[in-house]
Amino acid sequence: MKANRSLPMLAVVALGLLTVLLPTTESCSCYQQHPQTAFCDSQYVIIAQVLRRTASNDRALDAYKIAIKKEYKVGLCDFVRPYSELSIVEKRGLAGIYRKGCKCKIDVCTRPKCTQKVGSCSWSPYSTCETSNSSCVPTGIVNEDGTPIKCHWRRSLRYMQCLAKNGGK
């Protein structure tokens, strides 16, 4: 009989613990995005150079002095990488090419074959060619409201070389 009474109490404690811990796990619930999607959906983006780091006992509280090279838009789940690690196409994307494709939607596709929706490009997070070497841009055919009817992966030289090297992936 005593075991039956402690079960509801255990459930309340478990629920309380879950409620307390849930906000701390929120940052781990981000889906992988194409850099263009991160750029188009973000509030703020910058290119900055780290000038100095002031270490503390808690690494999360380290302070950085930065020089802002260029301002764009970034959020918690968005694309954050050192500029030196970006491909030339990603650098050009941040400089303005991604902005041209913001009206196109990039649909995440994890299956081998995906259907392309109106005004979008299908993208696999496992595809290096589209991720690092291309952007999704409108073909020029638009609806009355200006939204694109058809979008495609921009066929840059690096994108075509990547497709040839990786067998179209």
Q: Which segments are annotated as binding site for Zn(2+)?
A: 28
Annotated binding site: 28
The label of the residue with tokens 């497709």 reads: 163
Q: Which of 79, 74, 75, 54 is nearest to 64 (CA)?
A: 54
Scored b (16 or more CB within 10 A) or e, 94-112 reads beebbeebbbbbbbebeee
Q: Is 37 exposed, middle or buried (0-12, 13-18, 19+ CB in 10 A)?
A: buried
